[in-house]
Structure 1
Amino acid sequence: MADQSLLAPQRQALILEAIRKAGAVRVAELVEQFGVSDMTIRRDLDALVRQGDVRKVHGGAIAVGTASTDEPGFDVKSGLEESTKAALADAAAQRVEPGSVVALSAGTTTYAVASRLLEVPGLTVVTNSLRIADLLWAAESDGAETVPSLLLTGGAPTRSAALVGALADQTIRTLHVDLLILGVHGVSEQAGLTTPNLAEAQTNRALIASARRTVVVADHTKWGVVGLSSFAALTEVDCFITDDALPAAARNALAEAVGELVVVPAAG
């Protein structure tokens, strides 16, 4: 039951604890949990931002600070930066050729990409994402005519619904894909592409090695976030797709390192 008698500092402490535990929270969830208004929660988040404890994103907030060892679950992440992810997914899907073999890593942005590939003819999708597999299976069950063929890597699932580990890596190492579309937990000039999960880092390395070209889709909130494990340098990225809320300094760093930088207007 919501406790509306909490003082603002008490509520903010509980919010911070929730963010640090889950990695991210949505405003709507906090409103329901504490029984206060949307504006009250946003003021609480503003206070935590001023303290340097969290970073606000569209729809909620994420943890900041030292190297991250926790990753929010799929459902939490799916409610953050939704319109921006849609714009990135549109740009990434335009790079997929009919009849090609495309690998999609796990993540909410790559899930958005997958939803845009349902009508691409002759496509084969390789993925370690249970959510993307569910999306393709559901489309086939609904009788869609051009659902891509699916190859699920196998492996052990993570909190973010990614299949990782030796089985996934072994399967991926036997494959040759035309294009990898890769989501990331964090990006920085020094650490490159990172994830909090060591096993997922290894699986992402295998995906990159299997692909002729690697496209990264990452909204501006991923910049400066450093997960526990690096799995690729920025120079290994053929195309990096992000949104126009990314600061100029970050754009310059990416433009110098990656093969191609694509900046799309954030929708909404």
Structure 2
Amino acid sequence: MLASQRQARIVEELRRGGGVRVSDLTELLGVSDMTVRRDLEVLARAGVLHKVHGGAVLATSRRTDEPGFAAKSALQQPAKEAIAARAAELITPGTAIALSAGTTTWNLARHITAIPELTVVTNSTTVADILEAQAPRAGFTVILTGGVRTPSAALVGPVADQSISSLHVDQLFIGMHGMDAVAGLTTPNLAEAQTNRALINSAKEVVVLADSTKWGIVGLADFGPLSTADVLITDNGLPPAAHDILAESVGDLIVVDAADSGLPSAPSVGDRT
């Protein structure tokens, strides 16, 4: 296969899923890791994609683009695992917590199955799948909000907002599409922004989970300034200037080593959303 043919196939995969992993491309294209990385570099210089740790995402200026859950779960896995492991250390057995939709909170769900007697509120079908499988053994109570499902497996809209508004939790663990010094915490989905606000209002403490690649990305709708975060957990890929801004804006900034996670890498979700 010629380089131009490989690159066209990479673009096709990007447009289909919103993101690609180097490991998947080497298998798909039958070439070496180095060849794939060279192709990604060519496409990045052409402005077609943005390289991220372990892969690439489709370059776009549209603030309404919402990648599917499967595409997002393939990206930044070491950082998300390390962030999730650190977040789990903040949880006390027997408390009521909420987990928003998102791939980092999905990783967190895998880490909390050993914490007993939790009540977990979530608007994520993928988070609920993990927790409900473990609920009898761990003594969990899992509350799924209901609502209209988005491409990122979030349940949003009036049904979700109303159910959340009647609840009060000790901690909320929430992800986002992007974070920015001016725009704050953002998502490409208007309804999800409103549901995220409801989750924030229900919580005594807000813990934001955001890998470093989220910095500088601005989605269509914001659901709060950076100061919304009582705690923000990110990884050590964050630029120094961004670190300084976050340190001044949030209650407590926790930076983890992206290579340090408490579980094996998350299994591939395939086409599941």
TM-score (norm 1): 0.90
Of 190-199 and 7-16, deviating more is 7-16
* 1:130-186 Cα distance to aligned partner (Å, 9 max, x none): 01111112224xx62x24210000011111111111100110111111100001111
Point out where structure 2 has 5 or more consecutive residues left out of the alignment: 261-273
Partner of 1:193: 185
SS in 1 for 2:208: strand
Q: Aligned equivalents of 2:43 and 2:203: distance in 1?
A: 41
Partner of 1:239: 231
Q: Is the 8 A contact 1:21 1:70 kept in 2?
A: no
Q: Aligned equivalents of 2:106 and 2:45: distance in 1?
A: 33
Change (3 A) 1:161 1:151: same
Q: Is the 8 A contact 1:26 1:76 kept in 2?
A: no
The counterpart of 1:214, out of the listed 206, 214, 217, is 206
* 1:180-235 Cα distance to aligned partner (Å, 9 max, x none): 00011111111111111111111111111111111111111111111121111101
SS in 1 for 2:151: coil
In the alignment, is residue 122 of structure 1 matched against residue 114 of structure 2?
A: no
Partner of 1:204: 196
Quote how far apart the aligned CAs of 1:258 are.
0.9
Quote how far apart the aligned CAs of 1:64 are.
3.6
Q: Aligned equivalents of 1:54 and 1:66: distance in 2?
A: 11
Higher relative contact order, structure no. (Cα contacts within 8 Å, ≥ 6 residues apart) = 2
Q: Aligned equivalents of 2:13 and 2:218: distance in 1?
A: 20
In the alignment, is residue 76 of structure 1 matched against residue 75 of structure 2?
A: no
The counterpart of 1:103, out of the listed 98, 105, 114, is 98
Q: Aligned equivalents of 1:23 and 1:71: distance in 2?
A: 8
Quote how far apart the aligned CAs of 1:242 are.
0.3
Partner of 1:252: 244
Q: Is the 8 A contact 1:117 1:148 kept in 2?
A: no
Q: Residues 19-38 of structure 1: matches in 2 within 5 Å?
A: 19-20=14-15, 22-38=17-33
SS in 2 for 1:117: helix
Point out where structure 1 has 5 or more consecutive residues left out of the alignment: none
Of 44-53 and 195-204, deviating more is 44-53
Partner of 1:93: 88
Quote how far apart the aligned CAs of 1:46 are.
1.1
Partner of 1:49: 44
Q: Is the 8 A contact 1:100 1:178 kept in 2?
A: yes
Partner of 2:170: 178
% identity of equivalent residues: 56
Q: Aligned equivalents of 1:133 and 1:94: distance in 2?
A: 20
Of 24-33 and 71-80, deviating more is 24-33
SS in 1 for 2:205: strand
Partner of 1:164: 156
The counterpart of 2:34, out of the listed 27, 36, 39, is 39
Quote how far apart the aligned CAs of 1:52 are.
3.8
* 1:83-105 Cα distance to aligned partner (Å, 9 max, x none): 11111011111111111110000
The counterpart of 1:149, out of the listed 138, 141, 147, is 141
Runs of 4+ in 1 over 4 A off after TM superposition: none
Q: Aligned equivalents of 1:22 and 1:71: distance in 2?
A: 10
Q: Aligned equivalents of 2:41 and 2:220: distance in 1?
A: 27
Of 244-253 and 12-21, deviating more is 12-21
SS in 2 for 1:62: strand
Q: How big is the alpha-carbon RMSD for the aligned residues of Structure 1 and Structure 2?
A: 1.8
Of 42-51 and 203-212, deviating more is 42-51
